């Protein structure tokens, strides 16, 4: 908790980030425990810190990753200083408490524990344990993970990585589940453009581009991409069914993985009503911007809508666009890909690290359900997966949905008692993949 408070007190609001002083603080903490680290500076005031505890090299390293930057605050909406590290009513408040300084502190503690409890007691590790703290995650990582991948790729070699992106959720009735992010949806921008005759607005024209675009959007409003159940989603629903409090939803979670097509289809309908489940089951299409028109008395020749389309790994955006074109079914409309998200493979939900994380969680709470999870948002893990690293997203602090929703919001906070759980979970998972005969 002392480290997390200290870390929160460094204002690393991005932009501008200014993560260097925090990186220097981390280096100081590590030096006191005899752990060497290196600070890499992509430009003044920005930094990545990499520290390594060496193993015997039998296995490829395990990486503990977290970002040091945070999103801006609206200070007047906070009930306390967002950079004060205030403890109140069992919570530690501060920007970054759960995104991502909480995990940064837990990773730091886990690394110190590996040094103190294993290395200093003569236990040999089968692999290096690498601690990576990055800058600029919240603005796309050009001065952070992307820069590291392009300039210091050799430092990132690892078999496994633990990063943000999952959930340890307390649900109704006090039950808990751990959702380990093993893959993420891929984000693309797609435009639909209507073209029609231009002219004086005083003479209404057939085929006005704005009307055509409106009709196309109305058709898309009724359209859903087909349900795609990946092995991750199947495992997610069948495990969640065991702890989910609402009986109709729990029944649908069981039904959707059923071999009976009719049962699966009706279950999909129930789950589709919950936006986040709808989003993990199919490619998502969200209109986000509109443009067109030049003046109050001119019929424009063009009107355009931008769609954010998020695909499930393995789906081609070109195919989604073809389906959008077929739904719109209008020769005056063109559908084009404006930016093409980069494909990243999923991480193995049956690896030693996945089992180590679930084992650690169940050691701390024997009733904990553990599920692999396809996240609808993006993290730095996509970069790592493209390098062939099995990255797992967690947020190792048990908390309720309402606390989790403060991420990027006001009065962000972490339950103080969950810090212990988080540190233990990461430490135990690292220990069990790094020691041959772990017991």
Region near Zn ion per CB under 5 A, out of 53-61, 78-86, 158-166, 327-335: 158-166
Q: Does 212 participate in binding Zn ion (rule CB under 5 A)? A: no
Q: How far is CA 274 from CA 265, 271, 280, in A?
A: 15, 6, 10
Q: Which is nearer to Zn ion, 138 or 212 (CB)?
A: 138
**How many residues interact with Zn ion (rule CB under 5 A)?**
3
Q: Report d(CA 28, CA 11) in Å as an integer.
A: 18
Cβ–Cβ < 8 Å for 198, 299: yes
Stretch that binds Zn ion, among 93-101, 284-292, 321-329, 430-438 (CB under 5 A): 93-101
Q: CA–CA separation, 216 vs 327, rounded Å?
A: 8
Phi, psi of 338 (to 5 degrees): -90, -40
Cβ nearer to Zn ion, comparing 232 with 379: 379
Note whether 99 binds Zn ion by CB under 5 A: yes
Burial class (CB in 10 A: 0-12, 13-18, 19+), 33: middle
User: Residue with structure tokens 């943000």?
Assistant: 164
- Shortest separation between residue 125's beta carbon and Zn ion, angstroms: 28
Tell me the closest approach of the beta carbon of residue 397 to Zn ion, in angstroms. 13
> Residue 271 CB, nearest distance to Zn ion (Å)?
27
Nearer to Zn ion, 164 or 184 (CB): 164
Residue closer to Zn ion (CB basis): 164 or 412: 164
Least distance between Zn ion and beta carbon 315 (Å): 25
Residues within window 159-188 making contact with Zn ion, judged by CB under 5 A = 164
Sheet holding 87-88, edge to edge: 87-88, 91-93, 413-415
Q: Does 69 bind Zn ion (CB under 5 A)?
A: no
CA distance 183 to 331: 37
How many residues make up the chain in this entry?
439
Window 272-301: residues binding Zn ion (CB under 5 A): none
Q: Does position 100 bind Zn ion by CB under 5 A?
A: yes
Nearer to Zn ion by Cβ, of 127 and 383: the residue is 383
Q: Would you list the DSSP string of 108-143? A: HHHHHHIIIIIGGGTPPPSS-EEEEEES-GGGTSTT
Task: Give min distance, CB of 49 to Zn ion, in A.
Answer: 16
Do the Cβ atoms of 145 and 380 come closer than 8 Å?
yes
> Which CB atom, from 65 or from 118, has the smaller least distance to Zn ion?
65
| 24 alpha carbon, distance to own chain's centre | 26
CB of 216 to Zn ion, least distance (A): 36
Part in contact with Zn ion (CB under 5 A); list of ranges 100-108, 195-203, 313-321, 391-399: 100-108
Shortest Å, Cβ 164 to Zn ion: 5
Nearer to Zn ion, 197 or 377 (CB): 377
**Beta bridge mates, 188:** 309
CA distance 353 to 214: 49
Question: 64 or 256: whose CB is closer to Zn ion?
Answer: 64
- Contacts with Zn ion by CB under 5 A lie at 99-100, 164
């Amino acid at each position: 908790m002392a480290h997390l408070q200290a870390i929160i007190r460094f204002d690393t609001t991005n932009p501008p980030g200014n993560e260097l002083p925090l990186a220097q603080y981390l280096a100081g903490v590590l030096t006191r425990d005899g752990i060497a680290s290196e600070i890499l500076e992509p430009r003044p005031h920005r930094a990545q810190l990499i520290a390594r505890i060496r193993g015997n090299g039998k296995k490829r390293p395990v990486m503990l990753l977290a970002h040091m930057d945070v999103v801006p605050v609206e200070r007047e909406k906070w009930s306390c200083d967002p950079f004060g590290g205030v403890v109140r009513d069992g919570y530690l408040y501060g920007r970054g408490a759960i995104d991502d300084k909480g995990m940064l502190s837990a990773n730091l503690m886990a690394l110190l524990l590996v040094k103190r409890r294993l290395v200093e007691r003569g236990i040999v590790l089968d692999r290096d344990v690498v601690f990576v703290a990055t800058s600029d995650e919240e603005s796309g990582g050009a001065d952070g993970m992307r820069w590291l991948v392009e300039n210091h790729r050799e430092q990132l070699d690892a078999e496994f990585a633990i990063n943000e992106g999952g959930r340890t959720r307390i649900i109704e009735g006090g039950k808990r589940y751990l959702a380990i992010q093993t893959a993420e949806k891929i984000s693309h921008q797609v435009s639909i453009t209507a073209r029609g005759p231009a002219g004086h607005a005083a003479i209404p024209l057939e085929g006005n581009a704005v009307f055509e675009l409106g009709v196309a959007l109305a058709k898309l409003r009724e359209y859903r991409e087909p349900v795609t159940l990946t092995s991750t989603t199947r495992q997610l629903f069948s495990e969640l069914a065991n702890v989910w409090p609402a009986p109709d939803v729990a029944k649908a979670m069981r039904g959707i993985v059923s071999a009976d097509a009719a049962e699966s289809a009706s279950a999909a309908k129930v789950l589709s009503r919950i936006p986040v489940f709808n989003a993990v089951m199919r490619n998502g299409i969200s209109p986000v911007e509109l443009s067109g028109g030049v003046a109050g008395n001119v019929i424009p020749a063009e009107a355009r809508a931008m769609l954010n389309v998020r695909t499930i790994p393995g789906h081609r955006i070109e195919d989604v666009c073809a389906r959008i074109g077929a739904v719109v079914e209008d020769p005056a409309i063109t559908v084009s890909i404006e930016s093409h998200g980069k494909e990243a493979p999923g991480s193995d939900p049956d690896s030693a690290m996945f089992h180590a994380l679930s084992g650690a969680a169940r050691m701390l709470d024997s009733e904990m359900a553990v599920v692999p999870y396809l996240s609808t948002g993006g993290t730095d893990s996509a970069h790592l997966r493209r390098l062939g690293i099995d990255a797992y997203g967690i947020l190792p602090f048990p908390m309720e949905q309402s606390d989790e929703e403060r991420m990027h919001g006001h009065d962000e906070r972490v339950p103080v008692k969950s810090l212990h759980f988080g540190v233990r979970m990461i430490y135990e998972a690292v220990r069990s993949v790094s020691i041959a005969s772990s017991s």
